[in-house]
Every structure is written in C-alpha cells, then in structure tokens.
Amino acid sequence: MTLPVNAFKRALAEGRQQIGLWNSIPGSLTAELLAGCGFDWIVIDTEHALTDIPDTLAMMQAMAAYPVSAVVRPASNDAVLIKRVLDLGAQTLMIPYVQTEAEARAAVAAMRYAPRGIRGVAGLTRASRFGQVADYAQRAEDELCLIVQVETASALDEIEAIAAVDGVHGIFIGPADLAASMGYPGQAAHPEVVAAIELAIKRIVAAGKPAGILTLSPDFAVTCMGWGTRFTAVGMDLSLLAQAARGLARQFTP
C-alpha cells in the first residue's frame, strides 16, 4: 500500500482557497453527514468539545469515504495527544494556543520521528495501514500538515518567528481568545480586534505561510479571504443546528 496523499496540504501549498467547517458534536453519524456537504476540510475538535480519542477514530473513518480533509484539533500542544491522533491516521493537525517559536518547534517535534523529532514509533497503526505502508516511518512527514493557532495579542507579536519554523505549514487566528486577550471578551467583532486580525493575516501571508480563521459571519469570512486567508472555516455544526432549530421554533410560536 502507498501513503495516502494529504489533499489539504497540497491545496495550501498551491495557494487554493479551502473552505472549512467545525465539527464539535461527537460521533460518526454527524461527522459523516457533514463530510458529504461539500466542504474542503472539517475540523474534528477535541479542545472545546466532548470528542475524545475513540470518537476521533470513528469520525475520521466516517469521513474517509468523502472528498473532504479531516483536520484534528488535539486538546493541547501535548506530544502524547499528538502521537495518538497521528497513529490513528490524522494527517493534518491544528494545535491550539501556540504562543512562541519554542512552542511551535515543540509541536513540530511531536509530529516527526527521530532523529528530526520525538514522535514514538509503533509498527501496527492505522496511519501505516497496520504495517502495510512499508516506508511509512521514512515518508510519513511528507503527507503530514501542521497548523498552529495564534490566539492572543502576545502570540501575534511572534507571528514572524512562528512562521519561520520549519514544519509549520499554516497559521490559524483564533478570534475569540484574541478578543479576550485584548480586553474584549465575547466581542470578536470589536473594531480593535478586527484591525488586529487584518494585520495578523497580512503578516502571516507576508511571512510566506497560509493564514486561516474561523468566523460564523459570512460577510467577515469574505473579508478575511480578501485580506489573504487560504483556509477559512465559515461555520460550526452546533451553531448551524441552533440557528435552524430556533428559526423553526419562531415560525410556530408567538
């Protein structure tokens, strides 16, 4: 067997816009439904969701039949968590709350086998098709993609240093935590936050790395794409469900 191609990584390298969605409801059924909806990438979120390792496996398996890239967000920048989701076959990881160049380097090291990193070696993993990809250990890195999140005002100061780290393939801005760090919790649309996001996107692009963001505002998504984002998440399953349910209820209640 050959190593599966990481379509998301290829698209970013080629500069093609990738439209994404957040999957925070655990379970394979929702994951499979979302996988067939036409998005380029879907985040399986284990940071702010009940989703855990067994759920992640089932959700990736459910998505595998569809032309969509699963992006797994571990709960933290932890080498053990990263190792586990990589062994399950995740090819693209989004690491939350990366504050410094050193933390970005730690995430890269967790993605790579020795001597270039610290990822533990196991022979019979789903990632290697249970040992049937003969050169997996030598070639795994070719198809792995690492996205790091900058989510605070202090992290924005480190954009150029983080972008320069070999093995970081994209930088994602977290608007909610950024707003809180700037003194505007719950106000991601505050003009000062929006100005910081615009500058951050442009600095990421100038540093030669793809920029990404999540926003539930279609208008702001288009604005961010105009500023230069190349992987843009435009919705979340819970939000879509809540909006549709509330809208339906309003049609039938006084």
Can you tell me the distance from the alpha carbon of 248 to that of 236, in angstroms, rounded to the nearest whole number?
Answer: 18
CA distance 165 to 173: 17
- How many Å separate Cα 124 from the centre of its chain? 26
From residue 158, give the alpha-carbon distance in Å to each of 14, 165, 178.
Answer: 25, 11, 14
The one catalytic residue in 48, 135, 185, 242 is: 48
Query: What are the helix (H) ranges across the chain?
Result: 7-13, 28-35, 53-63, 79-87, 101-111, 136-139, 153-156, 159-163, 175-181, 191-206, 218-227, 237-252
Partners of 9 in beta bridges: none
Check if the beta carbon of residue 15 is closer than 8 Å to that of residue 208: no
Phi, psi of 147, deg, nearest 5:
-110, 130
For residue 190, indicate whether it is catalytic: no
C-alpha 68/C-alpha 211 separation (Å) is 19
Among all residues, which ones are annotated catalytic? 48
